[in-house]
């Protein structure tokens, strides 16, 4: 057990969550405003943020949203965008030896990108405890729900997000997220393959097929350009 006990661990987690929690507020507001533009109500946005709790997947889903909601396509889209979480959860589970089985089942659904990244960072320095994880995840989770709901309330009042270019915020957010991976091996090949395949597919069959085709082309490019022990 850690020297400070569960209370100290919880406080350390809350302290670590301050920066990502503050940073996520503008995104959550934007997500809520965009969702309002697609006709979602504040209650629906709150429920989506509480139950789905996955930033890029929610942005992608709201972007692809039509009325009535194509629930199967949206679920497939969320599945594809979140596939990386399979490996993030497998990785963090190696650090959750101190978690009782029930705590693991409660913690894993809260494994948004930021929660995962900060948990891994903590685990690299000292053992990860359930109290630290709770301190990290709970403020972030509640802020995500509250801010996206507030954004929806404000968005319903603003009107059509396209008139202000708000829908283009997706492009800006995703460009910045992609740029964060630029040192990854094969980055340029993945970018070119995914973008090329997505655009070509979109021109032939508009709709979610472009996302699947681009993703498959991108990961195929990564596999084909991979070299053992790059020197």
Partner 1 sequence: MIPFADTWAAILAMAGATVLTRLAGLAVPRDFARGGRLAAAFAAMPVAVLTALIAPAMLTQGWADALAGALVVLASWKLPLPAVVALGAAAAAGLRLLAG
Span 73-92, contacts to partner 1 by CB under 8 A:
74-76, 78-92
Q: With contacts defined by CB under 8 A, how many residues of the chain interact with partner 1?
A: 99
Q: In the range 188-217, which residues lie near partner 1 by CB under 8 A? A: 190-191, 193-199, 202-203, 210-217
Q: In the range 30-59, which residues lie near partner 1 by CB under 8 A? A: 30, 40, 44, 47-48, 51-54, 56-58
Give kind and range of the element (H or E) at residue 179. Answer: helix 169-179
Judged by CB, which is closer to partner 1: 14, or 108?
Answer: 108
Number of neighbouring beta carbons within 10 Å of residue 98 = 15
**Considering the complex, what minimum distance in angstroms separates the CB of residue 14 from partner 1?**
22
60 touches partner 1 (CB under 8 A): yes
CA-to-CA dists, residue 128 to 11, 110, 137, 139, 230, angstroms: 13, 15, 13, 18, 32
Q: In the range 120-179, which residues lie near partner 1 by CB under 8 A? A: 163-179
Question: DSSP for 137-173?
Answer: HHHHHHHHHHHHHHHHHHHHHH--GGGGTGGGHHHHH
**Considering the complex, what minimum distance in angstroms separates the CB of residue 7 from partner 1?**
27
Which is nearest to 60 in space by CA: 40, 43, 74, 42? 74
């Amino acid at each position: 057990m850690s020297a400070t006990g569960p209370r100290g661990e919880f406080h350390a987690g809350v302290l670590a969550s301050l920066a990502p929690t503050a940073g996520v507020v503008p995104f959550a507001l934007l997500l809520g405003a965009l969702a309002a533009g697609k006709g979602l109500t504040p209650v629906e946005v709150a429920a989506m943020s509480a139950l789905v709790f996955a930033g890029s997947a929610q942005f992608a889903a709201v972007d692809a949203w039509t009325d009535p909601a194509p629930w199967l396509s949206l679920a497939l889209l969320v599945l594809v965008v979140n596939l990386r979480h399979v490996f993030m959860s497998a990785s963090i589970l190696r650090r959750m030896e101190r978690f009782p089985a029930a705590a693991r089942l409660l913690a894993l659904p809260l494994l948004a990108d930021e929660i995962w990244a900060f948990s891994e960072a903590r685990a690299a320095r000292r053992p990860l405890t359930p109290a630290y994880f709770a301190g990290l995840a709970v403020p972030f989770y509640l802020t995500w729900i509250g801010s996206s709901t507030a954004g929806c309330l404000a968005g319903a009042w603003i009107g059509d997000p396209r008139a202000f270019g708000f829908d283009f915020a997706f492009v800006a957010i995703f460009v910045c997220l992609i740029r964060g991976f630029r040192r990854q091996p094969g980055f340029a090949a993945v970018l070119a393959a995914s973008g090329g395949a997505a655009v070509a597919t979109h021109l032939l069959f508009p709709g979610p097929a472009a996302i699947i085709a681009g993703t498959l082309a991108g990961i195929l490019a990564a596999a084909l350009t991979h070299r053992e022990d790059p020197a």
